Amino acid sequence: MMGNKGGVGIRFEVNNSSLCFVCCHLAAHREKVSARNADYHKSEIVGSHTLRILSEMVFSAPATPFSSSSSSPSASSASSASSFSSADLTESIPILSHDVVYWLGDLNYRITSDVPSSTVFQYARSSFSSLLKKDQLAVSQHAGFAFVGFTEPPISFPPTYKYLRDASIYDQRPEKKLRAPAWCDRILYRMRDPPRPNQQIPVVITEYEAVDSVLGSDHKPVYLRSVLLVKKYDESRMVTCQTEARRRILAGEKAGLVQPELSATEIAFGCVAFQSPSRRTIRIRNAGETNLYFRFLPRDSENHVALPMLGVSQLFGVLLPNESIEIEIVLHVTTPFLKYVHENGIIEDMMAIRIDREHDHYIHITASLLATSFGRSLPALIRMNQPGRAFRSRVKRSTS
């Protein structure tokens, strides 16, 4: 943490549901919206000293069967039953792996700079609903720059900043620098698994308000009340399943050779659109008579198994004889990756899967981006004599 900007998080479990609370103080000043977005996510700015809370804040916990941060029981039980090193028994839990995340604090988002400060003061108290359309946080979310997937309850209170201390009026003292009112203080939440149709909603917001009676700050604090539907496993049945799984795993280790079958070693996404996730699946099948352990190999210090714009639904696991698993590969081209795509012409990558600690298999991934004006430099845009959709990516093959 540097100065008075930073973030802190805590995680815990209620029954079998994992909760994470992140409280932060992001970059200040009306014109610093890009810095706030970078504080939330990973900055692509060379020499940047942004906080990068989402990518840097990772919790550690012992990996246990049926861990709430795993995507499935088989994924977590794999690490405890396999022959991987002891380091694999410690589970790294990023923020978005929790069932429910609450993100709160002085996020410092202001009203967009195209609205004069005098107009903001005019509407801040009586007609503030018209200002919400110009809220920087809402604009950044809609554009995919920050807090994608998070939800904020409807705002029914005036801007929470900047007030005179010991009063409930906005600070317009002529001897001070004028700060236009803004909703700096916010609470958002995210559900890892949104409810399916006809399924009960796990998070219900009952109240979201500001406390006007607090006078000791130039901010008005906000609070949120919610009702959570948490998971509760049948402990006796879970123990029975674990015992049976352990018995089958130990029995399987005594038989035969590993015989993996991959449904594909080439994945072609074709032409994908900016900000539109594209999905493909591969199937791994254990055709042998012994247990098959697999894991996607990390290739950098941040444990990425592929380009950051590529996501993998399950990074490791164990398959019993004749068992198979479908793994989803998601390609999502967002703003931080546009420069890479424009410079390279195509998206091309190679992922490595290690089978039973010694056999490596490779998956070649290709895609192209539907031409867009987003992410291009101002000089390039000025020279354009045709719509962005008319651009054709130049193909530059990877030599690695």
Please, what are the domains in the chain?
A: 6-56+99-228 (3.60.10.10), 61-96+234-390 (2.60.40.10)
Which stretches of the chain drop beneath a pLDDT of 70? 1-3, 42-51, 62-89, 251-256, 372-400
Q: Which residues, listed in sequence order, are joined to residue 204 by a DSSP beta bridge?
A: 227
pTM assigned to the model: 0.58
User: How far apart are alpha carbons 301 and 84 in whole angstroms?
Assistant: 19
Question: What's the confidence (pLDDT) of residue 394?
Answer: 43
**Alpha helices per DSSP H over 172-292:** 235-252
Say how many C-beta atoms besides its own lie within 10 A of residue 147's C-beta: 22
The reported pLDDT for the residue numbered 374 is 61
Rounded to whole angstroms, the Cα distance separating 124 from 155 reads 13
Q: What is the pLDDT of residue 297?
A: 93
- Residue 367 · residue 393 · CB < 8 Å: no
Q: According to the model, what pLDDT value does residue 300 have?
A: 83
Predicted local confidence at residue 328, as pLDDT: 94
Tokens matching residue 393:
């990516």
Token digits of residue 237: 């049945």
β-partners of residue 294 are 317, 355
Which of 175, 171, 187, 248 has the alpha carbon at shortest distance from 221? 187
Q: What integer pLDDT is reported at residue 319 of this predicted model?
A: 93
The pLDDT score that the predictor gives to residue 81 is: 35
Q: Report the pLDDT value the prediction gives residue 148, as an integer from 0 to 100.
A: 92
Rounded to an integer, what distance in angstroms lies between the CA atom of residue 22 and that of residue 7? 7
